[in-house]
Amino acid sequence: MRPLTPDALNPAILNVQYAVRGELAIRAEQLRDKLKDPSNTLPFDKVISSNIGNPQQKGLDQKPITFFRQVAALTEWPALADLAPGVFPPDVVARAKELIQEIGSIGAYSHSQGIPFIRQHVAQFIEERDGFPSDPANIFLTAGASAGVSLLISMLITGPTDGILIPIPQYPLYTATLAQYNGAPIPYYLDEASGWSTSVESIESAVQEAVAKGIKPKALVIINPGNPTGALLDESTQERLVKLCEEHSIVLLADEVYQANLHHRDTHPFTSFKKVVSKLRSPIPLISFHSTSKGVTGECGRRGGYFECTNISEQVLALIYKMVSVGLCPPVSGQIGVDSMVRPPKAGDPSYDLWKQETDATHAVLASRTSIMAERLNALPGVSCVNSPGALYLYPQIIIPPKAQEAARKLGKEPDAFYALQLLDKTGICVVPGSGFGQKAGEWHYRLTCLCPGVEEYVNKLEQFHLDFVATYGA
């Protein structure tokens, strides 16, 4: 018997990289365990996970929305409505009853594409958001947005000459999934100097370069609001991007999971690509992703999400259906989460006031924390930080002194990974180095979430660490 070794496995697997839960996150878990030992000598008393947009994680302060959890509890055990009279608001009781009537039991497999009744509500939500029609037949409920993205990439990529245009920096799900399916990432660079804006010209030249190398660009990934950048696209750029897809027959994959995370709605509103494509009556195939994990919902563990297909033929829809049917169905509690997200309480409903109060508070704290952190980081020597108008992150650029770069290389680390590891070891704060998201050669960044309470103390730690780092390695 030969043991199973990595070289016997699909080599594509070895190429997959996913920094958000990579070396730093694994080390953070080890340190968290170490802290439990009362004789530990670590220079901090808690590990703060700023590596992942996980708003309800222990130690962070985004509370679940009560309405969500009431609906969830009552669909889990419908008898509660009678056993605990008066405990659930009447709109929650009605909602749960209606859902159970449609679904039967939360313990049954649903329609593989998602419960039709819930898909109707998703379509209504999209219509109200955009002012254009949406068809439940074009909507697939998923286990979070990631499951949908991974499925679509697996269907689009045939081999190494098929490519997908990926923003740099990007959320590494895209490169990880492309590596798994042997596709070619075609990078295009976002412009930090103009607030991480998307340049249609740079995408156009990335297309040309890819084609010249014999790589066929099959899809364009746009993350809006951006991850890790938090940038928001304006509608005229979106129109030009749609035209570009039209010209090159490219599928648009619109990752819009942060659409509800807007810090300045008046100056930086969100416009969906579905709306732009509908307005232009463009024929481009568009897949738009949304999720229960982000926004003020923050229900990551529930694994709820959906994608909407626009300009996708019946034949291709049937193939997508076939592929999701092999996995049977998305988690029903995630589907119910999607329903609660797209059908929140309305003014006048018994649950409305609490819902409004909870969601307003979350929006306000994220906006204020993001501004404070960006401002304080910007004031540091060798650090510049775009104050992002959306999403949950900041992506500061740091100048890493040559001596520190040298020290990093000696350890076989990227300089930004070296910085992030030291930050973790000295402060307990876990961030993700920019090399996990991509950056221009010779530049260094890290991504941190804006989810940690006690922002003053938190930024003080970041500051003190950075100043010590510069003092140790020179400017």
199 binds a copy of itself (CB under 8 A): no
Rounded Cα gap, residues 344 and 70, in angstroms:
12
**Shortest distance in whole angstroms from residue 228 CB to a copy of itself:** 16
CB of 70 to a copy of itself, least distance (A): 6
Cβ proximity to a copy of itself, 304 vs 389, nearer residue: 304
Query: Of these, 28, 47, 72, 215, which contacts a copy of itself (CB under 8 A)?
Result: 72
Could you tell me if 388 and 226 are in contact, meaning their C-beta atoms sit under 8 angstroms apart?
yes
For residues 28 and 23, what is the distance between their CA atoms, to the nearest angstrom?
Answer: 9
Q: How far is the CB of 213 from a copy of itself (least distance, A)?
A: 20
Residues 230-249 that bind a copy of itself (CB under 8 A): 245-247, 249
* Closest to a copy of itself by CB, 58 or 410: 58
Q: Determine if 211 is a binding residue for a copy of itself (CB under 8 A).
A: no
Which of 28, 118, 176, 203 binds a copy of itself (CB under 8 A)? It is 176
Q: Which stretch binds a copy of itself (CB under 8 A): 117-125, 301-309, 376-384, 389-397?
A: 301-309
Site string for a copy of itself, 304-333 (x = CB under 8 A): -------xxx-xx--x--xx-xxxxxxxxx
Nearest residue (CB) to a copy of itself, 134 versus 142: 142
Considering beta carbons, is residue 89 or 389 the nearer one to a copy of itself? 89
Query: Min. distance of Cβ 463 from a copy of itself in angstroms?
Result: 28
Residues 253-282 close enough to bind a copy of itself by CB under 8 A: 282
Binding-residue pattern over the window 134 to 173 for a copy of itself, x denoting contact by CB under 8 A: ---------xx-xx--x---xxxxx--------------x
In the complex, minimum distance from the CB of residue 128 to a copy of itself, in angstroms, rounded to a whole number: 25
Q: Which is nearer to a copy of itself, 69 or 426 (CB)?
A: 69
**Is 8 among the residues that bind a copy of itself (CB under 8 A)?**
yes
x/- binding map, residues 17-36, to a copy of itself, per CB under 8 A? Answer: -x-xxx------x-------
Label residue 385 exposed, middle or buried (CB < 10 Å: 0-12, 13-18, 19+): buried
The gap from C-alpha 168 to its chain's centroid, in whole angstroms, comes to 15
Q: Indicate the residue among 51 and 439 with the shorter CB distance to a copy of itself.
A: 51
Cβ(434)–Cβ(444) under 8 Å?
yes
Of residues 348 through 367, those in contact with a copy of itself by CB under 8 A are none
Which x/- pattern over 85-124 shows residues binding a copy of itself (rule: CB under 8 A)?
--x---------------xxxxxxxxxx------------
Q: Which is nearer to a copy of itself, 269 or 453 (CB)?
A: 453
Q: Please report how close the Cβ of residue 306 comes to a copy of itself at its closest, in angstroms.
A: 15
Nearest distance in Å: CB 214, a copy of itself: 17
Please, what is the minimum distance in Å from the beta carbon of residue 195 to a copy of itself? 28
Cβ distance to a copy of itself smaller for residue 77 or 201: 77
Q: What are phi and psi of 99, to 5 degrees?
A: -65, -45
Cβ proximity to a copy of itself: between 216 and 264 the closer is 216
Task: Examine residue 50 and tell whether it contacts a copy of itself (CB under 8 A).
Answer: no
Residue 453 engages a copy of itself in binding (rule: CB under 8 A):
no
Query: Secondary structure of the chain in the HEC alphabet?
Result: CCCCCHHHCCHHHHHCCCHHHCHHHHHHHHHHHHHCCCCCCCCCCCCEECCCCCCCCCCCCCCCCHHHHHHHHHHHCCCHHHHCCCCCCHHHHHHHHHHHHHHCCCCCCCCCCCCHHHHHHHHHHHHHHHCCCCCHHHEEEECHHHHHHHHHHHHHCCCCCEEEEEEECCCCHHHHHHHHCCCEEEEEECEHHHCCECCHHHHHHHHHHHHHCCCEEEEEEEECCCCCCCCCCCHHHHHHHHHHHHHHCCEEEEECCCCCCECCCCCCCCCCHHHHHHHHCCCCCEEEEEECCCCCCCCHHHCCEEEEEECCCHHHHHHHHHHHHHCCCCCHHHHHHHHHHHCCCCCCCCCHHHHHHHHHHHHHHHHHHHHHHHHHHHCCCCEECCCCCECCEECCEECCCHHHHHHHHHCCCCHHHHHHHHHHHHHCEECEEHHHCCCCCCCCEEEEECCCCCHHHHHHHHHHHHHHHHHHHCC
Supply the minimum distance, in Å, between the C-beta of residue 161 and a copy of itself.
Answer: 12
